[in-house]
Amino acid sequence: FLSEAADELDIEAYAIGGFVRDFFLKRGKAQDIDVVAVGSGIELAKKVSEKLPGKPPVKVFKTYGTAMLKVFDLEVEFVGARKESYSEDSRNPEVERGSLKDDQNRRDFTINALALQLNKSNFGKLLDPFGGLQDLKNQLIKTPLDPEVTYSDDPLRMLRAIRFSSQLNFVIEPQSLKAIQENATRIDIVSKERIVTELNKILESEKPSIGLKLLHDTGLLKRILPELTNLEGIDEIDGQKHKDNFWHTLEVVDNISKETNNLWLRWAALLHDVGKAPTKRFNKKIGWTFHGHEFKGSKMVYQIFKRLKLPLNDKMKFVQKLVLLSSRPIAIVDEDVTDSAVRRLVHDTGEHLEDLMTLCEADITTKNPKRYTKYHN
């Protein structure tokens, strides 16, 4: 249908972006396809709809000059090829019509700039001006233009580079990594919603520590989640040390990711120790203490969710509850809690008990078989 519609309108049409990348990676089933028309994307969408059985409605986004069509459970997004430049400190791009090459130029990474022609005469022809296919083979994240330009056009792309690196286990090309380090402060102008979308994708990857470490190394994490970077470091007084709770947290997140795909359980693992930075004290007799860190931590979960515009609903409460209880598995098992607030929570942990135990198991340093025997039996 697409080929016919494009040929009838006499415009060039290409599949581009994630669909083409994942096609070459043989990765999963596509949920959406981006189509670039060298001409009007909206007109092409309308023509395709006319040809489809039942003529599905075309959703037009006039301000962006794009259109969307649902074909079975596939979302096809149509856009006219464009040159795009973002003005400094603004999220509103100035858009001009352009060639396919212009459109590929303004994309984030070479692996996302691959285009497959859809017109009949050249169906399936690959247009790859930046060596994206080679970068796919070399497992490399690289920008089509100078990274300074690509990242200042849309600073979210710094986070996207890290997200793709974490999802695909690809390496970020050194010049690009340097540009991210140097431009990390620019992430501040990006909306929280867009940041969270990428953060969630990092957390949902097979080994989230790949992305989290890159966020840390580039200085982005300090701007997005300073509560986590505050956990970094080991203090020593009178020969007494505590563990580095930042690197420990990354280990816990990887451990839990082997056990579950539940995003909120992964968030709980990420935040389970955040209360330790503000509660850290040194006591001459007993050494380092983090007294009350679980209460502080669960309050911080609310503040973090609010700041990042994450949902303040039962998901947040779930994360809070796990953070509050994760360092007290013994309390849950033995029900010998004297603290009334904890006792109340233990009481209504109910359906989350298994999730809590998964988190405690992942929290390797509290992994003491004796503490769990009662539960497992």
Interface residues with ligand CTP (CB under 6 A) are: 17-18, 34, 107-108, 112, 154, 156-157, 160
What tokens does 19 get? 């669909």
> Are the CB atoms for 2 and 33 separated by under 8 Å?
no
137: three-class secondary structure by DSSP: helix
Q: Which is nearer to ligand CTP, 42 or 156 (CB)?
A: 156
Least distance in Å: CB of 302 to ligand CTP? 29
Question: Which residue in the shown chain puts its C-beta closest to ligand CTP?
Answer: 18
Least distance in Å: CB of 34 to ligand CTP? 5
Q: Which is nearer to ligand CTP, 160 or 266 (CB)?
A: 160
The closest of 287, 264, 289, 261 to 276, measured between CA atoms, is: 289
Max distance between CA atoms of the chain, in angstroms, equals 83
The closest of 261, 275, 245, 274 to 203, measured between CA atoms, is: 261
Q: Which is nearer to ligand CTP, 66 or 112 (CB)?
A: 112
Q: Which is nearer to ligand CTP, 47 or 107 (CB)?
A: 107
> Are the CB atoms for 33 and 77 separated by under 8 Å?
yes
Least distance in Å: CB of 37 to ligand CTP? 15
The closest of 72, 156, 225 to 164, measured between CA atoms, is: 156
Q: Which is nearer to ligand CTP, 18 or 147 (CB)?
A: 18
Least distance in Å: CB of 350 to ligand CTP? 35
Least distance in Å: CB of 22 to ligand CTP? 7
How buried is residue 191: exposed, middle or buried, by Cβ count under 10 Å (0-12/13-18/19+)?
exposed
23: three-class secondary structure by DSSP: helix
Give residue for tokens 């022609």. Answer: 117
Q: Which is nearer to ligand CTP, 5 or 158 (CB)?
A: 158
28: left (phi over 0), alpha (psi -120 to 50) or beta: left
Least distance in Å: CB of 118 to ligand CTP? 16
Q: Which is nearer to ligand CTP, 107 or 142 (CB)?
A: 107
Q: How far, in Å, CA of 107 to CA of 197, rounded?
A: 19
Least distance in Å: CB of 62 to ligand CTP? 19
